Chain A
Amino acid sequence: MSEIREQILATVRRGLQRGPLDEARRAELEVRLAHPPRHLLPARAQGSHSEQVALLIKMAEYALATVDQVARMDDVPAAVAAFLARERLPTAVVMAPDAELAALPWENQPLLRIERRAARDGDKVSVTAAFAGIAETGTLMLRSGPDRPTTLNFLPDIHIVLLPAERIVGSYEDGWDLLRATGEAMPRTVNYITGPSRSGDIEQTMQLGAHGPLRLHIVLAGA
């Protein structure tokens, strides 16, 4: 181990007026890491599931996302096509090669031209699936993986996200518990996304679409 590292740690311990932690204290901290205690949760993050769904919609719209609701997962492709037509947006769509998305009946939307890959410069519209929705702030939680390239969340102008209502939870902590329950390692990237990209750097006036998407559109399925 490097000399510099040891020197910094030694100065830290000198400041704290102790040597390395004793075994008992280390064991306590190990327990805290293995079973992370929750801090106070806002009351708004602890309602019933239907309340959480309503709160997610309200908070996402407050963050300037748009939300469409469909009854069943199979209705999602039609909702995506309808949104693009309604907003006069391009029908060429880059989609995450995600099994959940692939299982949907896209073949019924012949006007959509779908490519399944990571994003490239010039892509206008992307479609991805959220891992979870966090009601307390209307936040989408997305994770990277071979079938979920992160560039789709940032490069295109329009980002459309599928969110199954059953995966809406109250708090950030609930989102992490859901991820831990998958048993998989921490993904390379987890993105919380709350509304479309923006900047207030010019005279503190907010403008949308700074570097990331100009629009964030959520298709909420099964609510």
Chain B
Amino acid sequence: MQATSQAFQRNVSAALQNPALQKALKNIKIGFVRKRAAAVAKLPEFELLRDAGCELKNHVLDHLDFYLERFEAKVIESGGQVHWARDAAEANQIVLEICRSVNARLVTKGKSMISEEIGLNEFLEAHGIRPVETDLGEYIIQLRHEHPSHIIAPAVHLNRDQIADAFQAHHAPYGFTERREEPRALLDEARQVLRQQFLRADVGITGANFCVAETGTTVIVTNEGNGDLTQILPRVHIALSSIEKVVPTLEDVSLLLRLLARSATGQELSVYTTFSTGPRRRDDLDGPEQFHVVLLDNSRSGMLGGEFQDMLRCIRCAACLNHCPVYGAIGGHAYGWVYPGPMGSVLTPQLIGIEVAAQLPNASTFCGRCEEVCPVHIPLPKMMRHWREREFARHLTPAAARFGLGLWAFVAQRPKLYRLATNLGAWLLRRLAASKGRIRSLPLAKGWTAWRDLPAPQGRTFQQQWAARRENRL
């Protein structure tokens, strides 16, 4: 997809002024945050499991070449094929060639963020193959010609009336002419429409939450069962994965499964966890005749050994999005590319370039909630800071911000001047706030006061309080 991360500030303004989006974003707290907290509270070992998950992923990354080679060998041994892709273009071409080899016209798709990353749907459409998303949320946004706004709840930015509109506009050919708004009715309608696609598809494409080296198995985790119908009904199953998804053994998957659903949706385990090994066996009554795995690098290998290596531990649970106050205020689309929220602010600059995504690592208050809830302890704020340093070093920071930082550094290195300036500033802000204690509008800081009031400084400055404390102690 075309990135709009350069226009982040414009995207943010639009998001904040979008009442439908603001209404939909309120569901996140109920849908995810509280459920995660309840699920974590029910598993006393959760903290220890997080430590183990972090350690396991570090072990994998330290031996990534070994486990990838073993995974490949095991897939081949079980009758499947492995295709390596350096970038999006290569991955798309591989998928297209597989589709062409079986004269595919219709492709069903389970939810895959790798597919979003490589822009597979647009690519297949341009080559005359029709991709149909089957995860309900993905299907809804495909009808609306949108991209996911969340990595596990792609349509979290929408309300039921918008979904009803989309279905009404597209479902008449399937015999649904009446507009329905109840979630139950909408789901039943989608179930019936998509059931026909599942049965007709030539190729089924899924993602992979994990690739197991021990057995050459890909694993998908879903609640709807769409991933399973996608991969067992057509003649060909293609699993799209990225190289860091490999794990050594089924025991290791077991550990990560205990972390994933609880962190993501607050479930004990997702409804369907499916382990796929090779194509259908002799005498099997169903299952795909061909099984392909596409292993995508797309600049992940370049993160090894550097300050962003820890990001490769990510298991895509979305807890960092769900707990981020910035994501909660603006939703996912404002970030302007595939991966939103804190994990996206770290990953996107690596994948599409810091020149395009320079503003994303700044979209954080560094409150630290993302790191607090991350099931594999990824130091997200620290890595956003690394990107800010790179942004500054490469002169991508806007001139006004550079000037401001320079001015602050000049003053901060001169204690007398610093004290004078802060006292003066605090006094001025108090005057501006008058009796209200808050400031509605501030010259030079409209970007702040347009969306919220600035609280006026209360009492004495930190420096004054510090001096007073020292005097008392002496």
Contact = CB atoms under 8 A, between A and B. Distances in A.
Given A11-B297, A154-B225, A201 B140 contact: yes
Interface in B273-290: 273-287
B271 A7 contact: no
Given A137-B269, A138-B268, A150-B287, A188 B281 contact: yes
A191 B273 CA distance: 6
Contact of B52 (A15, A21, A40): A40
B305 interface: yes
B305 A16 contact: yes
A213 B191 CA distance: 11
A12 B233 contact: no
Interface stretch (A30-38, A70-78, A80-88): A30-38
B64 interface: yes
Given A188-B278, A204-B153, A207-B184, A39 B224 contact: no
Interface residues of B, number: 104
Interface string B152-166: 011110011001000
Contacts of B272: 191-194, 197, 212
A210 B287 contact: no
A107 interface: no
Contact of A13 (B52, B65, B85, B216): B65
B65 A192 contact: no
Interface string A4-15: 110111011111
Nearest to B221: A192
A199 B243 contact: no
A67 interface: no
B252 A210 contact: no
B228 A191 contact: yes
A212 B135 CA distance: 12
A144 B275 CA distance: 10
Nearest to B49: A40
A26 B69 CA distance: 12
Interface residues of A, number: 79
Nearest to A8: B297
Contacts of A124: none
B104 interface: no
Contacts of B31: 200, 204
A213 B272 CA distance: 11
Interface string B383-418: 000000000000000000000000000000000000
A96 B137 CA distance: 32
A61 B70 CA distance: 39
A172 B251 CA distance: 8
Contacts of A16: 62, 64-65, 304-305
Interface string B61-100: 0111111111000000010000011100010000000000
A186 B304 contact: no
Contact of A202 (B70, B163, B273, B287): B163
A193 B223 CA distance: 10
A173 B251 contact: yes
Nearest to B86: A4
Contacts of B199: 121
A188 B223 contact: no
Given A187-B277, A203-B24, A211-B225, A9 B249 contact: no
Nearest to A21: B66
A153 B186 CA distance: 23
B243 A8 contact: yes
Contacts of A200: 31, 153, 223, 265
A223 B233 CA distance: 36
B254 A39 contact: yes
Interface in A11-62: 11-17, 20-21, 25-26, 29, 32-33, 36-40, 42-43, 59, 62
A213 B251 contact: no
B163 to A, nearest CB: 6
Nearest to A176: B250
A29 B255 CA distance: 18
Nearest to B163: A202
22 contacts: A8-B84, A8-B243, A8-B295, A11-B297, A26-B66, A33-B248, A36-B248, A36-B251, A42-B258, A63-B271, A146-B281, A186-B78, A191-B275, A193-B271, A196-B271, A197-B224, A198-B224, A200-B153, A202-B163, A204-B27, A204-B30, A210-B191
Interface of A: 2, 4-5, 7-9, 11-17, 20-21, 25-26, 29, 32-33, 36-40, 42-43, 59, 62-63, 97, 117-119, 121, 136-139, 144-146, 149-151, 153-155, 171-173, 176, 185-205, 207, 209-213
Interface of B: 24, 27-28, 30-32, 43-45, 48-49, 52, 56, 62-70, 78, 84-86, 90, 134-137, 140, 153-156, 159-160, 163, 183-184, 186-188, 191, 194-195, 198-199, 213-217, 223-226, 228-229, 232-233, 243, 248-255, 257-258, 265, 267-287, 295, 297, 301-306, 309
Given A118-B286, A201-B154, 6 more contacts: A9-B69, A15-B302, A43-B45, A189-B232, A191-B273, A204-B31
